[in-house]
Structure 1
Amino acid sequence: MASAKVLVASCPADDSNVEVVRTAERLCRSGRDGAASPLIAITRLLEPARRHDLERALAEARPRRLELRPLSIPASAARALLLRHPPDASVDVAGGQIPSVVILGFGALGEALALQAVQLSASGLVLTVLDRDASARGVSLLRRCPGLAEVCRATFLDVDPEALAGTNGLDRLPAHQAPSAIYVCFDDDEQNLRILRALRGWLARRASWDPPVYVSISRPKELDPGRVAEDRVVLFGDLAETCSVEMLLDEKLDVLARSVHAFHVEGIEGEGSELPETYREASRRQADHIDVKLRAIGSRPVPRGSAPPFFFSEDEVELLARLEHARWMAERVVDGWRYGPVRDDARRIHDLLVPWEQLAENARERDRIAVRAIPTLLERVGRTIARDLVVGVVGRSSARLSARSWRDLLQPQIQTIVRRFPDRRLVATTALTDPAARAAAQVILEQPQAGLVVPRVVPLADIARSLGENENREAFWQLVACAERCFALGVPEDGAEMPAPRDSLDPVREARLCAFLAERSDVLITAGAGFEAIPAGSLPAGRQPGRPAECLRIDLDPAAHTASWQVRS
């Protein structure tokens, strides 16, 4: 104990792990006088009450020689996955869509995914769980988290895992609710692969749904790549990664969380670095949600120096303060708290677990302070905030040009946009249904910090099958994989199939796409004839704060190889 930096206690029983930590703490008190930092005790405790009791006991010890951290490989895997692929990446949050998550397998990993998704969703969550004893496990979860129903609409369906790998087990899923993401996370890799195979056939009959599928595979390097060669399938849960020292210590994921924690420490006089692990975990959750908030106002963290100093408008502060309160409520609920008129920490009752409209002004101001601190917190870890410049692109497949010719026509326009808006991060927004849109997305993604948003109006697999002779299908899927968001745009939710695009989109889908791009784009690029009716960017009186004061429209003429510009301000 005198020289150790990390202790891992992972005995099967909570009592054994508590005794290990208490013994280590006693030894540290007498044998770590010269240590520069406390011993980190990564401890497996299944019962939240035992963890909180141990945290309180350790918090009373002075001087503090031991720092308790939870050991949960499923929770670490879920956190890492959902930070890379957040629940709102497959929905149009600005358009009012709510993530609808399907979890197949509700063991420790499935539950960890559900609870992490609840805390990372800005606008609520629809959760559907399928497993052999899903309803009983759901009752157990709601007993531990009695307020969960207030922040999440959950359905638990009892389905045998073998039935999910068969022909009709997946038919238990609600036909009216298109899933925005599906997670396959049983404990057996082979079972997950069988279910994935069944999922492919099931989704092929419901082409309009087209959700990403995340499959837990503990040893992916041992797999034949052909068994999971699917364009919207993501593997996660690699034990070599989730059991690494870096993951156990959360070193990579906790860079920003440490900045948030330091901010809280500075605000609590006399506590210093002695705050218990409960506060550290709260800092992690608050840090994880910063990206969610910034996406809500069309912004992203970028390396310091690549964007000018950033300031929130008062309207943005108010919006994000509401999101912060909703996030905090979800965090408290997941930890088993419930509402009561008088706060009682021992019984996990809190008087602030109420909607924003019912909060007292001093409580609202605390949320505003947390929001205003975000630029400073990011600055401390070498980041700043850049506002997005949404570049919408729409064209027609009938406007025949080679990919090289489209690039030659588009590159000067994109470079002019970059010079005109040097403080913005370009975000290509396109359905990828035509060569011009795909070429524009590729050119824009070559710019520093650029992003891609894909509003789907036809299934991506159908677009891939309709690619021209000079376009590479693998390159198309690599482009899709770069998308920060990929969501269905007004697609029917009844599972009806949609025709593959040929020379052009059908008029209804094209009109829907054009209306969406006209409303959301700061710069609108059209390729080919027939788009004259689209306005040159929307500039209503209620234009969102932070968007440029002017909108641009660029009409490309592929026949003449020219571009004409219009400006509205």
Structure 2
Amino acid sequence: MPIAFGPLPILVCGPGPLANLVVDGLRLEGRKALRIDAQRLEMLDPKRIRTLILADPPDAPTLVEGILARAEPRGRLRRRATQRLILMHGQDPPPPLPVPDPSGLLRLETFAIRNRAARALLNRWPLHLGMDPRFGQRPHLLIAGFADPAQAILVHALRLIQYGTGRPRISVVCANSDAVAAAFLDAYPQAPEVADIRFGPIDDLANMLHEACSKETRASTAPQIDAVPVTLAVVCFPDAAGEAVETVRQLARDLADIQGVSPPILFEIGLAHEVGSATARGGIADWDGQIIPVSYLREVCRASVLLDGRGDEVARTIHDHYRDSIAAQGRDPNLEPAGQPWELLATSYRQANRHQADHVWAKLAVTDARAVPEEMVESFVLTPLEVERLAIIEHERWAADRHLDGWSYAPVRNNQLKHHPQLIPYADLSEPMKDLDRFAVRGLPTLLARQGLGILRLLIVGLPEPAAGCPGGMRLRRLADQALDRLVARYPDRALVLASTLTDRRSRELVREVLDREQGVGLFLLLSRPLGQVLAELPDPHDRRDFLTLTARAERRIGLNGETDLATWLSERADISLILGDRVPAGVVEKRVRLDPGGLGLDWNFEY
């Protein structure tokens, strides 16, 4: 006899802790969810299903076939409302599955756990989190350990790592590194065309870091062509407890000692609730400002990712735009494999749209721009120079996607052999081929507008270190409020970003005041020396907590090579300098506002 559930919850069926994580993730975001076992699933009346999630079950094709067979329409019992059957599986491609009857009750969707986790993690903590491509910095991703989801992150990073700043780098250190390298390059033989990829044993990490950017190399007068410090690290050990915690802490120390940088470190803690340290537990005062605990399974089990397609909004818009372009040419998009509605689109085509969509945020970073609610933007047009810069990057991104799918260059295209004549540098393309990339990037504002988003260029306000005699407190904060109010009024088409080392209490007071008061203000943390050194110079618990709290709010943590590099960044990258006190430091940008609480008050050297 069929089981009646009353109000239809989201049903979850699957073995082990994954199904429990799914239920927890759904309930955490306010969804009604119920876990059922396989026996109960067999007795379930398909008409009682609103959404059914199969959490990586064994023998998924047979299970799905049985569910679809019971869900076939039978006369008047057919329900018109479409119900969802979501199969969670390890990674793409999905297992071979029966094709659902288009007139059936259920719509079958597949959800690749590790692939979607890699996308979610690198969207939340992007590759440019620890770098500034406009300052000439190149991305260098370090992966330590190769447990899940390391390979998925490596592959997705290769799709996103093009920032137009030279050849990017990825270093992988793990146990059995030779076997891991061989297996990876066997699966992705064209990956070295995308970036410099190096594999090495975990105990050789120090040597690899020395080779990447040793202190001797950085101090020498020789050209630093190969000096690429790590800009983001991901740690994926099989066991996140015990020794792994100390290993990740040692990694942070090695990066500081050898390369003089403290890039963000994403530490995959798996399902462990207790990892034996405050690295993964505790409050902000226990944080070191660098190691960020993550759980890829918890990330993908959130309702917003699993059910609502968070991260797919722009991808779906790209696909809708493609369908519209086919229709505008007088063709029926439903008759073409790549033109099917999103719900019916093959996984390979969905993935291509997702890869293009995920790179939008890298393009905005390269353009010094940000996506904001559409009502905040009157208009936005890329300059010809920006179009050309982004077209080069878009071609590199497209080529990376093709290479990772096994394509290589040949003068004549051959789909069976995966040969393509456009897998050449952008400069060597014909003008019509370049125009395709230009067209793609010119459509960026329209693409985001379909999501209710507009684009604002950044207005970067640099905060050099305050003068020694500059008083802090309410007077300084009020002057800062007045200055920034005028800047916002003077530049209504720009998004305000403060750039500071946060090492001085007066700067932190000012930054916190602005972040709390103004919505949409960003923060670039400028790290001219390792975080450990900065924290060691803040022995007062209040100062340390204050610094760490603001660090957690920073959208970028830009590693710089000492005070000289810091001064160069402030002079080259800040649009305006906010000077605290009566002393104007050397090397600040031409436009500046001086905040002098003990003297002149506000002193502008340009028309505002």
* TM-score of the aligned structures, taking structure 2 as reference length: 0.77
Instruction: Say whether 1:460 aligns with 2:518.
Output: no
The alpha-carbon deviation at position 174 of structure 1 amounts to 2.6
The alpha-carbon deviation at position 435 of structure 1 amounts to 3.6
CA contact (8 A) 1:426 1:444 kept: no
What is the CA–CA distance in structure 1 between the aligned matches of 2:325 and 2:69, rounded to whole Å? Answer: 30
The alpha-carbon deviation at position 257 of structure 1 amounts to 2.0
Match of 1:388 in 2: 458
Letter in 1 for 2:271: R
Match of 1:557 in 2: 596
1:282-304, Cα deviation, whole Å (9 max, x unpaired): 11111111111111111100112
CA contact (8 A) 1:106 1:131 kept: yes
Seen in structure 2, the aligned counterparts of structure 1 residues 387 and 132 have a Cα distance that, compared at 3 Å, is same
2:576 to 500, 503, 523: 523
CA contact (8 A) 1:321 1:368 kept: yes
Letter in 2 for 1:175: H
CA contact (8 A) 1:397 1:435 kept: no
CA contact (8 A) 2:572 2:589 kept: no
Identity of aligned residues (%): 29
Instruction: Say whether 1:184 aligns with 2:235.
Output: yes
2:209 to 158, 171, 174: 174
CA contact (8 A) 1:43 1:68 kept: no
Secondary structure at the counterpart of residue 146 of structure 2: coil
Instruction: Say whether 1:370 aligns with 2:466.
Output: no
What is the CA–CA distance in structure 1 between the aligned matches of 2:405 and 2:67, rounded to whole Å? Answer: 26
Secondary structure at the counterpart of residue 118 of structure 2: helix
CA contact (8 A) 1:196 1:215 kept: yes
CA contact (8 A) 2:129 2:555 kept: yes
The alpha-carbon deviation at position 121 of structure 1 amounts to 1.8
What is the CA–CA distance in structure 2 between the aligned matches of 1:333 and 1:350, rounded to whole Å? Answer: 10
Higher alpha-carbon deviation: 196-205 or 88-97 = 196-205
2:151 to 111, 118, 140: 111
Match of 1:8 in 2: 54
Seen in structure 2, the aligned counterparts of structure 1 residues 21 and 343 have a Cα distance that, compared at 3 Å, is farther
Match of 1:498 in 2: none
Instruction: Say whether 1:151 aligns with 2:156.
Output: no
1:165-189, Cα deviation, whole Å (9 max, x unpaired): xxxx643433142322221112322
Match of 2:333 in 1: 271
Secondary structure at the counterpart of residue 183 of structure 1: strand
Match of 1:199 in 2: 251
1:196-244, Cα deviation, whole Å (9 max, x unpaired): 2433554564482212211111236445662443321111115344334
- In the alignment, structure 2 segments of 5+ residues that lack a partner are 1-45, 213-228, 281-285, 335-340
Q: How does 1:266-415 map to 2 (within 5 A)?
A: 266-268=324-326, 269-272=331-334, 273=341, 274-396=344-466, 398-415=468-485
What is the CA–CA distance in structure 2 between the aligned matches of 1:319 and 1:102, rounded to whole Å? Answer: 27
Seen in structure 2, the aligned counterparts of structure 1 residues 468 and 197 have a Cα distance that, compared at 3 Å, is closer
1:95 to 116, 130, 135: 135
1:214 to 259, 266, 276: 266
What is the CA–CA distance in structure 2 between the aligned matches of 1:490 and 1:104, rounded to whole Å? Answer: 24
Secondary structure at the counterpart of residue 157 of structure 1: strand
Match of 1:242 in 2: 300
Match of 1:81 in 2: 121
Aligned residues: 521
Q: How does 1:22-37 map to 2 (within 5 A)?
A: 35-37=80-82
Secondary structure at the counterpart of residue 174 of structure 1: helix
Match of 1:254 in 2: 312
- In the alignment, structure 1 segments of 5+ residues that lack a partner are 164-168, 492-508, 538-551
CA contact (8 A) 1:302 1:383 kept: yes
RMSD (Å), alpha carbons: 3.3
What is the CA–CA distance in structure 2 between the aligned matches of 1:157 and 1:223, rounded to whole Å? Answer: 26
1:31-78, Cα deviation, whole Å (9 max, x unpaired): 797555585553537675x86xx59x969x988998765543222222
Seen in structure 2, the aligned counterparts of structure 1 residues 470 and 4 have a Cα distance that, compared at 3 Å, is closer
What is the CA–CA distance in structure 2 between the aligned matches of 1:238 and 1:108, rounded to whole Å? Answer: 8
Seen in structure 2, the aligned counterparts of structure 1 residues 26 and 349 have a Cα distance that, compared at 3 Å, is farther
The alpha-carbon deviation at position 553 of structure 1 amounts to 1.2
CA contact (8 A) 2:464 2:579 kept: yes
Match of 1:484 in 2: 555
What is the CA–CA distance in structure 1 between the aligned matches of 2:425 and 2:72, rounded to whole Å? Answer: 45
Letter in 2 for 1:146: P
What is the CA–CA distance in structure 1 between the aligned matches of 2:409 and 2:308, rounded to whole Å? Answer: 31
The alpha-carbon deviation at position 405 of structure 1 amounts to 4.0
What is the CA–CA distance in structure 2 between the aligned matches of 1:203 and 1:566, rounded to whole Å? Answer: 41
What is the CA–CA distance in structure 2 between the aligned matches of 1:525 and 1:78, rounded to whole Å? Answer: 39
What is the CA–CA distance in structure 1 between the aligned matches of 2:162 and 2:428, rounded to whole Å? Answer: 19
Seen in structure 2, the aligned counterparts of structure 1 residues 304 and 400 have a Cα distance that, compared at 3 Å, is same
CA contact (8 A) 2:129 2:232 kept: no
* TM-score of the aligned structures, taking structure 1 as reference length: 0.81
Secondary structure at the counterpart of residue 278 of structure 2: helix
What is the CA–CA distance in structure 2 between the aligned matches of 1:362 and 1:251, rounded to whole Å? Answer: 35
What is the CA–CA distance in structure 1 between the aligned matches of 2:396 and 2:428, rounded to whole Å? Answer: 13
Letter in 2 for 1:174: L
Secondary structure at the counterpart of residue 103 of structure 1: strand
1:375-419, Cα deviation, whole Å (9 max, x unpaired): 222122221111111111112462342344431332211111111
